[in-house]
Chain A
Amino acid sequence: MNLGHQASRRGFLHLTGLLALATSALALAPRLALATWNKAAFETKALADAYKALGVESPTASGDVRINASDIAENGAVVPVEVISKIPNTTQISVLIEKNPTTLTAQFDLGPDMLPEISTRVKMAETSNIIALVKADGKFYAATKEIKVTLGGCGG
């Protein structure tokens, strides 16, 4: 019977139409889509592993990524850190602390209206390098600063 064939063709066209609509909606999706918390990256215990989990090959050291923080942190539980990127089209700023129990501290995804700078406070277990990792135009750049910690802050 013809009827069954017609119905399935209509159904197929309907499905294709929906798919096209969904695909175009995705194309128009805002740059910031809520990503699931990157558990694997936040559980890495070494810089190389954190980079790997973040899909970073080897970031280019850049003087255009500035870390503003005291050279010495009196209290490792509260270490103010500011990162400013002078690299155009910065879309992401991450903070990593090399000697912390887990390396990746925070990752900020910047919308197009946000200035490429972020200020926060972190915990440091001991004297360590802090790395600011910047993503711009799909490429990764990094700056490193050593912060001496007199009183460790992770509570161990």
Chain B
Amino acid sequence: MGLPMKIRATNRDGVTEVKVLMNHVMETGLRKDPSGQIVPALFINEVTAKLNDKVVMQAQWGPAVARNPYLAFKVKGGKPGDNVSISWTDSSGDARTDEATVS
């Protein structure tokens, strides 16, 4: 299981804003380590966001999304107390899901 991410979800004026900071190396496979060896590619390639168990967004990523990916998006509706869940899988098959409550 991957490292935990931070999720902030706030509701205002009928819109729920979600901000996520994931913890992931997002290696491109182009970088060399100090000994000159290529560091193999390892990156999140799929992301799913849910609001109360309903999928609101899905994404496909390549390695050019920055290390420790930041993601922010807005969803119509939602209210304080609702559940937001963010899941990712990476190119090695590792996966992570974290949840937060809308404030």
- The residues of B that contact A110 with a CB separation of less than 8 Å are 57
Question: A145: shortest Cβ distance to chain B, in Å?
Answer: 16
Whether B61 lies near A106 (C-beta < 8 A) is yes
Chain A-chain B contacts (Cβ-Cβ < 8 Å), number: 117
Known contacts A100-B64, A122-B64, A155-B31; is-contact A107 B59 (Cβ 8 Å): yes
Looking at B15, B26, B70, which has the most chain A CB atoms within 10 Å of its CB? B70
Cα-based distance from A97 to B28 in the complex (angstroms): 14
Whether B57 lies near A106 (C-beta < 8 A) is no
Whether B57 lies near A108 (C-beta < 8 A) is yes
Interface residues on B, range: 20 to 34
Cα-based distance from A110 to B48 in the complex (angstroms): 10
Whether B56 lies near A111 (C-beta < 8 A) is yes
Task: Name the residue of chain A whose CB is nearest to the CB of B61.
Answer: A106
Task: Name the residue of chain B whose CB is nearest to the CB of A100.
Answer: B64
Cα-based distance from A130 to B67 in the complex (angstroms): 18
In the complex, whether A15 has a CB less than 8 A from a CB of chain B is: no
Looking at B39, B46, B58, B77, which has the most chain A CB atoms within 10 Å of its CB? B58
Cα-based distance from A102 to B28 in the complex (angstroms): 10
Cα-based distance from A117 to B17 in the complex (angstroms): 11
Known contacts A37-B45, A113-B77; is-contact A120 B58 (Cβ 8 Å): no
Whether A102 lies near B73 (C-beta < 8 A) is no
Whether B73 lies near A105 (C-beta < 8 A) is no
Closest 8 pairs between A and B when the two form their complex, measured CB to CB:
A155-B31, A119-B72, A121-B66, A115-B74, A42-B62, A105-B64, A111-B56, A109-B58
Question: B19: shortest Cβ distance to chain A, in Å?
Answer: 8
Cα-based distance from A102 to B64 in the complex (angstroms): 8
Q: A80-B70, A122-B65 are in contact. List 8 more A-B contacts (CB 8 A).
A: A32-B58, A78-B66, A102-B62, A106-B65, A108-B73, A113-B75, A113-B76, A121-B70
- The residues of B that contact A37 with a CB separation of less than 8 Å are 45-46, 60
